[in-house]
Amino acid sequence: MAAAARVIAIAGYSAAAASSCLLIKTPFALQRCSNGLRFNNVRRSSKRLFSCNAIYNPQVQIKQEGQPETLDYRVFFEDTSGKKISPWHDVPLHLGDGVFSFIVEIPKESGAKMEVATDELYTPIKQDTKKGKLRYYPYNINWNYGLLPQTWEDPSLANSEVEGAFGDNDPVDVVEIGESRRKIGDILKVKPLAALAMIDEGELDWKIVAISLDDPSASLVNDIDDVEKHFPGTLTAIRDWFRDYKIPDGKPANKFGLGNKAANKDYALKVITETNESWAKLVKRSIPAGELSLV
């Protein structure tokens, strides 16, 4: 099946329907109906989002292969039939009403550098390597960390607002600030709150700050000012953590664009929309995929 007409899975739901993908002018919202869930259009933005208009086998199962902290360890995603799906391509980004899917790669207070393997079939989560050795952060990350599915930072696209930096060829990263420690492969519903424009060795590597909807503080935070009010110092701590984490390995500190400050929710939504559009071009093969897996 072509990458732009793939089967979609969402964790935790129980409907079944055929799936097709298309460019749409408005995002979708989920509503319950007599035979499960359906998508309804919700007018929230004039931006075009690439998404899917139905879901199929919307139960996602996690299958681990190999032992953790080994080179062979992989965390695959499967539907209820046991068919492998891609957490990057097959989990829908937009869930409607400003809510997005977030896939946990690295649980908070852990140090193994886990990531979606964008160059492997079905893009499982694995531990990153360097020179054949497993990579670890020099100190634990203090938040749940992962990606927004169906986004891509185009390495051929220079961002004029962030020092002309080119995308890092990966999905957009998310820093989830809720209180619970999540598990590798968890799919959470989150709302974006802010964005940090990290520049890593000249590449633009967006960090979307978000909170899971099931967090006790979720109703209190809806934009960047609320983060400062209810999670004081968190945005600075996130920036400083990502600025400095490579220094113990003898590398220079990372830089940040946009005046070295976090941008607000509207800017974060703009980043998500633009990188979703880039992903759409990628899976439609209007942009060369290189070594990236579109399966």
Q: Is 79 helix (H, G, I), strand (E, B) or coil?
A: coil
* Consecutive H or E run containing 131: none
Determine the Cα–Cα distance for residues 46 and 26; give it in Å rounded to an integer: 7
CA angle 241, 242, 244 (to 5 degrees): 70
Active site residue 139: no
* Consecutive H or E run containing 63: strand 61-65
Instruction: Provide φ and ψ at 267, rounded to 5°.
Output: -70, -40
Alpha-carbon distance values, 163 to 64, 172, 197 (Å): 40, 18, 10
Query: What are the DSSP E strand ranges found in 91-226?
Result: 94-96, 99-106, 110-112, 114-116, 125-127, 129-130, 133-134, 136-141, 144-148, 158-159, 165-167, 172-176, 187-200, 203-212
Number of H helices, E strands in the chain: 3, 22
Question: Which residue type sits at 94?
Answer: H
How far does Cα 164 stand from its chain's mean position? 23
Instruction: Give the ranges where 162-264 is alpha helix by DSSP (H).
Output: 224-230, 234-244
Alpha-carbon distance values, 161 to 157, 193, 227, 267 (Å): 12, 19, 24, 11
Of the residues 13, 136, 137, 245, which is catalytic? 137
Catalytic residues: 137
